[in-house]
A and B are shown apart, each in its own frame.
Chain A
Amino acid sequence: MLWVFTVDISKSASEHRGWIVESIKSVSSRCEGTLYSLVVYSGRALPLIEVSPSPMKVIHYLESVESLPGVPEPVRGVVEAAEIVNHYTSGRSAESRIVLYWSMPKKPRLPVKLAPTIASSVGSDLSIVALQYTTPKWARKHDLGPQEIYIYKRRMRPSDLPRRLGCT
């Protein structure tokens, strides 16, 4: 199983960085996985780690990377994540999962409802960890795509994320 952690590193997500790191630690220790990737994004996206057997490498890089300017565009993050999934799993039976963290400070320019379509085009499941405590005012349900893919941070400890992602 390939886990692609796709992390909002805009300034608006800075306050959540510690929570994100802790949640990745929890997921990597309690969910089945053999390979881990890290994509970071804000107004643009780039992969930092394409694949590694070490979740600690993901954590180390995430702790050391500086914030990026701009309003976070989750679709750009998903595109980079999908490229990695496509590159490393095409023709193979590896399963993959994209976990996208998003601070939701403003409405992005690219429609977020495209994100699950992009993920499914490479055979990957997408979960969006919404770092807002409540649904922001700008967000309408139809802008965000299906609500089932959202996991809101509200009243959730980092250690709860594996369960919310369906890991036993």
Chain B
Amino acid sequence: MATTVFAVDISLSMAKSFSDLVPSKLEAVLDSVLTASKRLIENRGRVGLVVYAAWAVPIVFPTTNLRAIYNAVSNIDRTYEGSAPGDAIVESVKLLRSIKDSNKRIVLVTDGDYNIGVPLGHSLLYARSMGVETSILLLGSIASSALGKFHTRYKEYAEWVEISNKRELLAGLLKHVEGS
């Protein structure tokens, strides 16, 4: 059984639209996460969910209960200051540490802000030491984002994917579901 933790950026900038991600990046991401979760669970996988801004909080522990994920997602109705993707990865790894599956993955979805918290490199090192694969789906250009500055340095620690529209976002999320 595969377990995937989606770590979703809910910082203020996610309230804006981007390309066809409307009415906001956040709403489009949550829609896509639900679709991917449904597919993953149908494929006998488990899903966990972490949200982050200046802090990171696990809101769904790894589960096969799609209703729990729907309920959690429907409670995310606003965005918050700050952006700490390193903390999100640490919290996601902690969610996965009790899971015995060989296939454990974090998919972090962000528009690339990064201004506070645990250094990204440290968190990716932790994920790697725990046997957790990490993918970073970045809405927009890697080169022009704050997070993208770390791409060259840590490109071997995570899979980095640029997302320019909703179709690519869903494809990016489903890629791991179908590969599991």
Residues of A within 8 A of B (CB): 40, 44, 46-50, 52, 57, 61, 64-66, 68, 87
Contacts and interface: CB of A to CB of B under 8 A. Distances in A.
B90 interface: yes
Contacts of B125: 48, 61, 64-65
B122 A46 contact: yes
A39 to B, nearest CB: 10
Contacts, number: 31
A47 B130 CA distance: 10
Contact of A65 (B97, B117, B122): B122
Contact of B97 (A46, A48, A52, A87): A87
B23 interface: no
Interface range on chain B: under 10, 10 to 19, 20 to 34, or 35 or more? 10 to 19
A40 B130 CA distance: 15
A57 B129 contact: yes
Interface in B142-162: none
Most A-side CB within 10 Å, residue of B90, B122, B123, B130: B122
B126 A48 contact: yes
Contacts of A57: 129
A90 to B, nearest CB: 11
Given A50-B97, A87-B97, A61 B129 contact: yes
A50 B90 contact: no
Contacts of A48: 122, 125-126, 129
Contacts of A66: 119, 121-122
